[in-house]
Amino acid sequence: MTRAGGDGSRQVAPGQLAHDQALHRDLEQILGAPVVMLSEVGSTNQELADRARDAALHGQTPEDLTLVATDFQSQGRGRLDRTWVVEPGEALTFSLLLRPAAPSGQPLPTQSFGWLTMLLSCAVVQALADHGVQAQVKWPNDVLVGDRKMVGVLASLVTFDHLPPAVVVGAGINVSSTHLPVDTATSVVLEGGTGDRALLLRAMVSRFLPIYRSYCADPTQLTRPDGTLRALVEGLLGTLGRRVRAELPGDQTPLEGQAVGLDDHGALIIRDDDGAHHHLNAGDVIHLRPVQEAR
């Protein structure tokens, strides 16, 4: 339930995530890092990036796995700068600050950052499966049930003057929405899952942490063609084997072909109709008919 504030803004009633002290404690214990729970924010990704930069300006080192979650995100953005807004209390929106480093403490190179969006997407899929919803990842940043979108994941690089860069990775999950504006969207509740956002947030964070720790321990070995983490991602990636069209940035001509794999940096490999292979690092991918049906 929401109520209007004196300035006309919407305020989230008590009892939501921002007021759940037990959830706050649990998340801090799981992550071993600061957790910020807000009633409302423009964007959790932007909020977390701003907090990290401010900490660095004051001589502090932003902590890996710092979390910001909110009951209502009023200015959420998706890929290609699309607006993403739902009613208060209907979505689970959170962001994690990632400063990936090897066990020695050596920061991982930025070339390794391309996998982080998909790792969070995979953790989301696993957590949803734990609660009865079978979903899959659409490269690089969506989670679908069938061909309907339930989750968007978005990453952004955060740079500092005297520290290695970090990544903010955020997820927006349609949890309890039952009246969606397009028939290509769905929600956890519509797919028979739980509407308990606190339960889902615990599950997603708990699922992500071991994947992330494993990746940081040996990203090259684990994401090589025979690597266990590569196998995990590819097993949950519904894009592979599909005929796809990639809408590329700027005025570039769309690329169409079959998604045949990932490269060592997490880029999608598309084989066009002439047999040439293209490595797609960024772009909006549209699933077309399955290859076997397109022939």
Is 12 in contact with 2 (CB distance < 8 Å)? yes
Per-chain mean pLDDT for the chain: 88
Residue with tokens 């090589």: 224
pLDDT for res 178: 86
| Contacts of residue 204, Cβ cutoff 8 Å, sequence gap at least 6 | 92, 94, 123, 124, 127, 171
In angstroms, rounded to a whole number, what is the distance separating the alpha carbons of residues 155 and 158? 10
Q: Alpha-carbon dihedral of residues 243, 190, 18, 62, nearest 10 degrees?
A: -10
**Domains recognised in the chain with CATH numbers:** 2-236 (3.30.930.10), 242-294 (2.30.30.100)
The pLDDT tens digits of the residues spanning 69-109 come to: 999 988 655 444 455 556 778 899 999 999 999 999 999 99
Looking at this protein, which amino acid is placed at residue 220?
Answer: T
pLDDT for res 17: 93
In angstroms, rounded to a whole number, what is the distance separating the alpha carbons of residues 148 and 86? 16
The pLDDT tens digits of the residues spanning 181-227 come to: 788 899 999 999 999 999 999 999 999 999 999 999 999 999 999 99
pLDDT for res 217: 95
pLDDT at 47 over 70: yes
The pLDDT tens digits of the residues spanning 99-117 come to: 999 999 999 999 899 899 9
